[in-house]
């Protein structure tokens, strides 16, 4: 009989098909998703308003080529890999892991609403789940590495230079306090697709 693990609950599946969420959970999810979309819109609108306060024009010429360049640099982390190779490779694993989480989250939403196993149980689905586990390990190892690097090793490369203007709260350590709160959340919420 097929078995699926959802959190700490193990489900025995007679038909092999299940929905991960109950109808109440599905409604709550839709409400929270709409709230998240609204909050994201508000955040991007605030950034756009700040950018538009600038004195120069926002250039949109050659936009497709510029977007392609931005995507290529994001995925390859090309400029970052030129210095500090180990740190850059670990950062690349974190970037790829969090990027892959978009697909993992999409799969969880589909599995939560429909009686299917995302990408199936064949070699494609198994490769997807293996890749998700591998990238989750890369994210967790990377986050631990960066946590130790920032708060224990404290290399000079992470210090602010004297010629950098800082808000008083940041100069007093506000950024470090924020990072101390952020790291446990990131480590706790690293997803992995359900079997």
- Kindly report, residue by residue over 144-155, the tens digit of the pLDDT: 998 888 888 877
d(C-alpha 60, C-alpha 115), whole Å? 44
Give the model's confidence band at 110: pLDDT under 50 very low, under 70 low, under 90 confident, else very high: confident
pLDDT in tens, 11-55: 444 444 556 778 898 899 899 999 999 999 999 999 988 888 877
- The dihedral built from the CA positions of residue 4, 121, 190 and 103, taken in this order, carries a sign that is negative
Q: Residue 135, class by beta-carbon neighbours within 10 Å (0-12 exposed, 13-18 middle, 19+ buried)? A: buried
The pLDDT assigned to 12 comes to 45
> Given the structure tokens 């819109």, which residue do they identify?
41
pTM assigned to the model: 0.68
Average pLDDT, the chain: 79
d(C-alpha 38, C-alpha 27), whole Å? 17
The pLDDT assigned to 35 comes to 95
The pLDDT assigned to 18 comes to 54
Bridge partner list, 193: none
Give the model's confidence band at 186: pLDDT under 50 very low, under 70 low, under 90 confident, else very high: low
Q: Where are the domains positioned within the chain? A: 1-60, 77-195
């Amino acid at each position: 009989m097929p078995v699926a693990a959802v959190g700490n609950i193990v489900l025995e599946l007679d038909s092999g098909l299940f929905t991960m969420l109950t109808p109440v959970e599905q409604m709550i999810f839709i409400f929270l998703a709409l709230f998240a979309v609204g909050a994201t819109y508000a955040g991007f609108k605030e950034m756009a308003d700040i950018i538009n306060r600038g004195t120069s024009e926002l250039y949109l010429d050659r936009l497709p080529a510029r977007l392609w360049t931005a995507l290529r640099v994001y995925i390859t982390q090309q400029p970052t890999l030129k210095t500090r190779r180990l740190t850059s490779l670990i950062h690349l694993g974190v970037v790829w892991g969090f990027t892959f989480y978009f697909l993992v989250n999409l799969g969880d939403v589909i599995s939560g609403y429909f009686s299917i196993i995302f990408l199936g149980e064949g070699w494609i689905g198994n490769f997807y789940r293996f890749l998700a586990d591998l990238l989750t390990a890369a994210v967790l190892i990377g986050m631990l590495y960066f946590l130790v690097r920032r708060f224990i090793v404290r290399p000079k490369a992470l210090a602010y230079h004297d010629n950098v203007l800082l808000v008083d709260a940041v100069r007093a350590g506000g950024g470090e306090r924020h990072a101390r709160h952020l790291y446990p959340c990131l480590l706790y919420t690293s997803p992995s697709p359900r079997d």
